[in-house]
Amino acid sequence: MIFDTFTYYLAFLIPAALLFRSVSAPVRPWVCAVFGAAFFVYFSVTQFGGWWGAACVLIFFWEASFRRFYTPRSKLCLVGVLVSVGVLVAFKYWNFLTGLAPGSREVNPLRWKGAFLPIGISFFTFEFIHYAVDRYHGRVERGSAGEYLAFIFFFPTLVAGPIKRFQDFAPALRNPSQQTAADWGAGITRILVGLVKKLAIADLLTSLTIHLNHADIAQANRWVLPIWVFAYGWKIYFDFSAYSDIAIGSGRLFGIGIPENFDWPYARRNISEFWSHWHMSLYKWLVTYVFIPIGGSRGSTAFACRNVMIVMLVSGLWHGAGLNFVVWGAWHGALLVMHRLWLVYRRRSGPATSTSTASRAGAWLLTYTAVNFGWAFFAMDLDTALFFFRRLLAG
């Protein structure tokens, strides 16, 4: 975790936030851009793909250079989207896609043996796409080069989001909050909350989730298996929401608001509510840039259900290059489709059914259970996840 290193705070966050607040408005974007690029290079060299990973900053600068060609209704916006998707596919999905052919797992002449994943590439890509699409539709101003680079390389959100939008970020960059003392107090508090979530809760749950492997599953009592996968559900929540808390708190030091990402998702009573409160910035991105463009809920119920499934398959693949992530996306797609069909049935069958405490509790328990068993496909490769369910059901 980058956010639990002294380097993040002493070499990047505190100096950048202090400098940002002390310079004139035209210089502020460049403070964010320079520190962001330095952050990318440093942590790429020390924790990720080494110097090759650090060199990828040049690819992202190259992708960012396309912005100067973007104008409303210009086909060059589409070119920018395709370039961004192509770069993501090359780094994240090439070996996965070329390994799908029969027999390619044993011998794959197309395999990239030195493959590595540049830090933040998934978040870079979605923010590149957002800007290009919104420029095409005239929903976002062009902004200056410095503002765009600051938006892309804003290092508190670079590794794990939340996913920002330029039309929200640029005004905050130009006119950050001037309540410095309050911002630093709130920001530091939010950062500490994130660190406690990560170090005191998420990491502690690893003692249970580490058992989600084929050998341990084979030897365990099957009644222990739900405990392990439910522990993973809480681990990933505290882990990921911790990153978001630290990013949001870091933004406050600059006087910049970062969108919230989690809002008690495990307290929701249906899968649609869960997704509108889990990784909210991703959910909104998928609705805006995938679901609505392919037709959304317009047309028949079957058409809308198809679109829901497409969106969730995209979500699964975005999270990771593996068949287990595809199945995880399909799992949630199926849950959302069933919920949609249930709503259609309810509308056609007349007045709403009981809203008693027992029915609400049952709806919550069903949603919570379905979501957490779905984490099996997220936590393990597909073969291990299927073995997990065989052991769970058959003993």
Cα four-point dihedral sign 159, 160, 163, 168: negative
Six token digits for residue 344: 């259609």
d(CA 125, CA 89): 10
Neighbours of 40 (CB within 10 A): 24
CA–CA gap between residue 275 and residue 311 (Å, rounded): 12
Q: Catalytic: which of 130, 319, 332, 339?
A: 319
265 secondary structure, DSSP code: G
Q: Spell 241-270 as b/e; 16+ CB within 10 A means b.
A: bbbbbbbbbbbbbbbbbbbebbeebbebbb
User: Residue 116 CA to chain centroid, in angstroms?
Assistant: 19
For the question of residue 277 being annotated catalytic, the response is no
Phi, psi of 349 (to 5 degrees): -95, 0
- Cβ(282)–Cβ(161) below 8 Å: yes
Distance, CA of 298 to CA of 146 (rounded, Å): 39
Active-site positions?
319
